[in-house]
């Protein structure tokens, strides 16, 4: 990968064994990327970018003005999210083992007196992980039957650059822990997306045909994830 500059915009150029040019502008800061066939030179890529410059600037502006969450301190009154809903955190000190409960519009976080912010974060993070683990198997089972592929293994981890990944050889998919905070249909879209990679490894035209076949509204779900409030950390997909 290398970069070209059009106006004052830096563009990542990636050459692949594909037929057509693919342009994307990605969160959180509007990174611009063009995937190009191997035989097309940089001057042709530059002319293509110039022809799309108005659209590129429009997309970059969206990300630059997008609302971001403040850094979390895990104290009462903070907003936290679960399955697409906003909850207020309510920290409750007690002498028993830490736990988390949903109560109406609150996430009750029970911790020991004197716990530090990183300890409170750990308790909530592990609760999130457990909730996501409960949701995933049924969705994988559903899409295995629809797509006709088998997922041998799956896991959850924090990822800074992707919502999910697929390891083709091991038939394994990984899902970003942050998906537990998004609406259920966004989680389902990412699971299905990674499972389609078991049919086609690349994001090429064949991959898009599969996505259109099995989940016609996938573009809307992708856009919804890109429009959702960003964390204070750097996120990209």
How confident is the model over 82-129, as pLDDT tens digits?
A: 999 999 999 999 999 999 999 999 999 999 999 999 999 999 999 999
Region 56-72 average pLDDT: 74
Domain count, the chain: 2
Is the peptide bond preceding residue 28 cis, with omega within 30 degrees of 0? Answer: yes
Q: Is the pLDDT of residue 26 over 60?
A: yes
CA distances from 147 to 134, 144, 226, 233 (A): 22, 5, 25, 34
CA distances from residue 4 to 35, 46, 152, 168 in whole angstroms, order as listed: 12, 7, 41, 32
Q: Are residues 88 and 190 in the same domain?
A: yes
Whether residues 92 and 191 share a domain: the answer is yes
pLDDT bucket at 160, cuts 50 / 70 / 90: confident
Interatomic CA distance for residues 33 and 55, integer angstroms:
13
User: The domain that contains 102 carries what CATH number?
Assistant: 3.30.2010.10
Judgement on whether residues 102 and 203 belong to the same structural domain of the protein: yes
Host domain of residue 197: 79-227
Q: Is 232 part of a structural domain of the chain?
A: no
Helix (H) or strand (E) holding 34, with range, is strand 31-37
Contact between 27 and 36 (Cβ < 8 Å): no
Verdict on whether the full-model pTM lies above 0.75:
no
158: pLDDT strictly greater than 70 = yes
Tell me, yes or no, whether 88 and 135 share the same domain.
Answer: yes
> Looking at residue 25, what DSSP letter applies?
E
Residue 234 lies in a domain: no
């Amino acid at each position: 990968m290398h970069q070209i500059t059009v106006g004052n915009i830096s563009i990542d150029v990636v050459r692949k064994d594909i037929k057509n040019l693919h342009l994307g502008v990605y969160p959180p800061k509007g990174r611009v990327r063009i995937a190009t066939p191997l035989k097309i030179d940089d001057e042709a890529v530059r002319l293509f970018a110039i022809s799309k410059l108005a659209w590129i600037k429009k997309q970059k502006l969206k990300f630059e003005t997008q609302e971001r969450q403040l850094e979390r301190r895990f104290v009462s009154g903070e907003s936290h999210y679960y399955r697409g809903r906003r909850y207020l955190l309510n920290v409750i000190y007690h002498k028993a083992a830490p736990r988390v409960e949903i109560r109406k519009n609150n996430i009750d976080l029970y911790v020991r007196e004197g716990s530090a912010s990183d300890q409170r974060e750990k308790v909530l993070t592990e609760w999130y992980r457990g909730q996501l683990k409960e949701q995933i198997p049924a969705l994988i089972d559903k899409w295995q039957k629809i797509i006709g592929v088998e997922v041998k293994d799956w896991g959850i981890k924090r990822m800074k650059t992707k919502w999910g990944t697929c390891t083709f050889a091991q038939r394994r998919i990984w899902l970003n822990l942050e998906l537990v905070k998004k609406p259920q249909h966004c989680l389902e879209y990412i699971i299905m997306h990674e499972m389609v990679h078991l049919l086609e490894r690349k994001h090429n035209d064949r991959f898009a045909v599969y996505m259109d076949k099995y989940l016609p509204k996938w573009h809307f779900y992708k856009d919804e994830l890109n429009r959702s409030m960003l964390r204070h950390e750097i996120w990209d997909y």
